[in-house]
Amino acid sequence: MNKKKVGIVGGGAAGLMAAITAAREGAAVTLLEAGERVGKKLLSTGNGKCNLSNLDFNAGCYYGPSDFLEQCFLQFDVQDTISFFEGLGLFLRDRNGYLYPFCEQASAVLDVLRHEIASLGIQVETMFRVDSVKPMQGGGWEVRGGKEIRRFDAVILTTGGKAAPKTGSDGSGYDLAKALGHRIVPVVPALTALRCKEDFFPSIAGVRTDAEITLFSKDGAVIASERGELQLTDYGISGIPTFQLSRIASYALKDQKELKVKIDFLPQIQADKLTKLAKERMSLRGGRSVEELFTGTLHKKLVILLIKRLGMKPSEASDQISESKLIEFFWLCKNFTVTATKTGDFQNCQVCAGGVDLQQIKDTMESKLHQGLFFAGELLDVDGRCGGYNLQWAWTSGWIAGKYAAGMTGRQG
Ligand SMILES: Cc1cc2nc3c(=O)[nH]c(=O)nc-3n(C[C@H](O)[C@H](O)[C@H](O)COP(=O)(O)OP(=O)(O)OC[C@H]3O[C@@H](n4cnc5c(N)ncnc54)[C@H](O)[C@@H]3O)c2cc1C
């Protein structure tokens, strides 16, 4: 029996999953990878530990059309990911819902995928950078890389986006998709830091603190908020809450030069308690400097910055400090506003927002424009929150694309 020939362009998480699934469905699979080896980006995920999914899961963890995403996750969800990796022999570790390989080595995830690729007889061609994908007259696909030509019954594009291009994802997939008539939703960096205008950041660099950060639109309306461990750097803000808001900031900063970001350094204290706090602190005045008066409220570097912003000297005596000044201090702790001017660039972000428009994609991951052309992974206009959701999207979309490309059952979507 003639096996269906499936070509996969890009050997990242989505491509590896698509290749394994298509081969398990009985297809003859060839994986074309531009780099020297497959799965380079996987090795740097989760700080080298690979946060491969998350038990706290729903379609709301993603930016993208929720109906489409729900249809996808109904086909392959977190439990399927767990079964898939356990089936490959990988023990998993659950850290408050965040899933990692038990050994906490990203290389183990790549190794079990590579072993499965080899045992299924999937042909892997590295150093094969695809520069054109064209439908052939009479059916099938012609894929070219330089002078090399390969022909397939179905092709799956899994080239990733533009994030961390040193791992291979240089954005070439968008050109391949565009050449085939696909629309690209503007691509911006996401899961990245925010650069801020203020010159005091070097004085607070290195501080990590629980905080709530809020983005405001030009007209002062709240766009979004996130709470978590904020990291202050010499150029601005980073850490998980900043990462979570960065895709919104990226799109906002495409249309405007600056974005106001309010930092609440005391999210555990309600605003109506500030006067009470100030009154209590009044009794600690005397015999202490202003800096010492605020010891124990925030990190010392932040205390000094806030004192200076209120026009006081850290070393001055606290005896005469007024209650209203104390209220001002605590108010500023909760309403510290900075000005973001840029997000991290594509070199310094974890994923891209934007990509191949889902309106032209079926929930089988097949193009609505071309039979036998499939997409998966970050190349599509889907991005998730920080916490394993982007890899889960790669596993889900890769699995679906692999299954339907191998079967090509022509399910309409
Ligand atoms: C530092 C970092 C840490 C991260 N940590 C996590 C994490 O812990 N958890 C999580 O869920 N997500 C994480 N992510 C995001 C996650 O890694 C990606 O969303 C995911 O790897 C995307 O998979 P992909 O297969 O779509 O694309 P990629 O992994 O980018 O793979 C694309 C592949 O296609 C190849 N390619 C590109 N163009 C061509 C071409 N023209 N011809 C042939 N081959 C081509 C590339 O060389 C590459 O190998 C992290 C990302 C980064 C950068």
pLDDT tens sequence across 341-375: 999 999 999 999 999 999 999 999 999 999 999 99
Mean pLDDT for 9-35 is 98
Average pLDDT, the chain: 95
**pTM of the predicted protein model:** 0.94
Residue 202, CB half-sphere, CA atoms under 13 Å: how many?
1
**Ligand 1 centroid vs 163 CA: distance in angstroms?**
8
Lookup result for tokens 């052939």? 136
Q: Would the CB of 408 count as within 6 Å of ligand 1?
A: no
pLDDT attached to residue 228: 97
Q: Would the CB of 293 count as within 6 Å of ligand 1?
A: no
Are 348 and 192 spatial neighbours (Cβ–Cβ below 8 Å)? yes
pLDDT above 60 for 410: no
> DSSP character for 136?
P
Where does residue 59 fall: left (phi above 0), alpha (psi -120 to 50 degrees), or beta otherwise? Answer: alpha
pLDDT above 80 for 340: yes
**First vs last C-alpha separation in the chain:** 29
Tokens linked to 194: 């925010």
Q: Domain segments of the chain: what residues?
A: 5-189+353-407, 193-344
Report how far residue 335's alpha carbon sits from residue 329's, in angstroms, rounded to the nearest whole number: 10
Are β-strands 222-232 and 236-239 bridged in parallel, bridged antiparallel, or unpaired?
antiparallel
Sign of CA dihedral 222, 224, 227, 232: negative
pLDDT above 80 for 112: yes
Report how far residue 157's alpha carbon sits from residue 130's, in angstroms, rounded to the nearest whole number: 10
pLDDT above 90 for 58: no
C-alpha distances out from residue 333 to 117, 220, 268, 376, Å? 54, 20, 11, 44
pLDDT attached to residue 409: 57
> DSSP character for 184?
E
Q: Return the bridge partners of 361, or none.
A: 367
pLDDT above 90 for 256: no
Q: Return the bridge partners of 146, or none.
A: none
Mean pLDDT for 129-144 is 97
Pocket perturbation via mutation, ligand 1, pick of 41, 52, 400 by most ligand atoms within 8 A of CB = 41
> How many other CB atoms sit within 10 Å of the CB of residue 54?
23
Pocket perturbation via mutation, ligand 1, pick of 130, 391, 395, 399 by most ligand atoms within 8 A of CB = 391
pLDDT attached to residue 255: 86
CATH of domain 5-189+353-407: 3.50.50.60
Q: With H, G, I as helix, E, B as strand and everything else as coil, classify residue 172.
A: helix
Q: Would the CB of 90 count as within 6 Å of ligand 1?
A: no
Output the residue whose Cα is nearest ligand 1's atom 46.
168
For residue 56, the Cα-to-chain-centroid distance in whole angstroms is 16
pLDDT attached to residue 413: 42
